[in-house]
Copies of this chain bind each other. A is one copy, B any other.
Amino acid sequence: MVEIDTPNQNCFLVQPRDFQLPEPLPLQCGRALKNANIRFETAGTLNAEGNNAILITHALSGDAHCCGRHTPSDRKPGWWDDMIGPGKWIDTNRYFVICSNVLGGCSGTTGPGSIDPDTGRPYNLNFPVITVHDMVQAQKRLVDHLGVKHLLAVVGGSMGGMQVLEWAVTFPDFVDKVVPIATACCFTPQNIAFDWVAREAIKADPDWKGGDYLPDKPPAKGLGAARMLAHITYLSNESMDRKFGRNLQDKSDPENYGYAFDFDFAVESYLQYQGRSFVERFDANSYFYITRATDYFDLTAETRGDLVAALKDVKSSFLLVSFSSDWLFPTPQSVKIVDALLRNRKEVSFCEIKSSCGHDAFLLEVETLGRMVRDFLATPRRKRA
């Protein structure tokens, strides 16, 4: 990722915008969300036919700010800026790119930290349970509002990939191409178990107060521990070995064990930094709702059939991508989806990218991934039989 220290007058600027849903949004849990707000950003221009739009869906801790800068003095650009922008792999000179913060999030879209219009107080844990299907329903209302007639593509990694799959199944006639990256049709029990322990760590923090924490006193230790745990699952053993090895932190003499329970190994200091910085930008209750949405996501459960049945009505062309060292969403998870699509005689391409970066590779191996996505977007679909 490029970081600039001096204001860049030529940088690509984008602006966050808000869309308030005119109607209550019915949710899968049976409740409806009133006055829901969707925070989103766009880049590029929608063409007259309304069919050059690409929706980018973000992962657990992402937001609507996928590319460019809000001001020339921003030190960091959006989270997928290497991928998206003028002349980049997803070229905003050609495509109209839309990215919105997910429902239940904490970066502008209505979530547990928002004010419940019925009580005038924050929802906290009274916020309704959100599913990936609900996230996608909210996105559909946004793209309709923006005048999009047909999405050229939906592209996203990790939890973003779950939204991509959900789009293909829920709105088969609306999406031409889908790119689910480093994802799965459902979580394994191991994935669910990691999420559970992360939430238990938050619950163990007395500042959490059953979700009713004070805005200036969030459950920082618990949320930090949750993030550190998740972060381990985003890296590969190999990348951790290369980055940290068994190096001790700031120790001239390796025999000097110091106060053994403060951080001592380099990997511990790194994780502590990751945990602390996450607390500054993320909300503990959103962490609850969004991880629960990923736990519940199950493409097969929605149609009450197996994966082949679940995918029988999709019309999009698929490009699935996995990464060889990703153990959170390993390649066989993608292959399972590819197999089910092939058994339905759907259009599908698949690539496992060799990478040592673990799950995070979808944010890091941008050149290899970008080239593939660019060509997939540019290639005309094969004629239907």
Contacts and interface: CB of A to CB of B under 8 A. Distances in A.
Interface centre among A125, A194, A205, A232 (most CB of B within 10 A): A232
A156 interface: no
Contacts of A372: none
A283 to B, nearest CB: 14
A367 interface: no
B232 A190 contact: yes
Interface of A is mostly: helix
A301 interface: yes
Interface in A267-321: 267-268, 271-272, 275, 288-289, 292, 295-296, 298, 301
A261 B292 contact: yes
A275 B200 CA distance: 11
Interface in A183-223: 186-190, 192-194, 196-197, 199-201, 203-206, 221-222
A320 B350 CA distance: 40
Contact of A265 (B232, B260, B295): B295
Interface string A239-265: 011011110000000100100110111
Contacts of A187: 246
Contacts of A229: 197, 229
A123 B240 CA distance: 34
A200 B278 CA distance: 15
A192 to B, nearest CB: 5
Given A201-B201, A246-B186, A265-B189, A129 B257 contact: yes
Place the interface of chain A in its size category: 35 or more
A221 B200 contact: yes
Contact of A232 (B193, B204, B245): B193
A199 B237 CA distance: 20
What is the oligomeric copy number? 2
A228 interface: yes
Given A246-B186, A246-B187, A292-B260, A271 B221 contact: no
A29 interface: yes
A225 interface: yes
Contact of A193 (B221, B240, B257): B240
A160 interface: no
Contacts of A62: none
A161 interface: no
Contacts of A272: 200
B189 A241 contact: yes
Nearest to A205: B204
A113 interface: no
**What are the 3 A-B residue pairs with the smallest beta carbon separation, nearest first?**
A204-B221, A189-B240, A189-B267
16 contacts: A188-B237, A188-B241, A189-B240, A189-B241, A192-B268, A193-B232, A196-B268, A197-B229, A197-B232, A200-B221, A204-B205, A204-B222, A206-B206, A254-B301, A257-B296, A261-B288
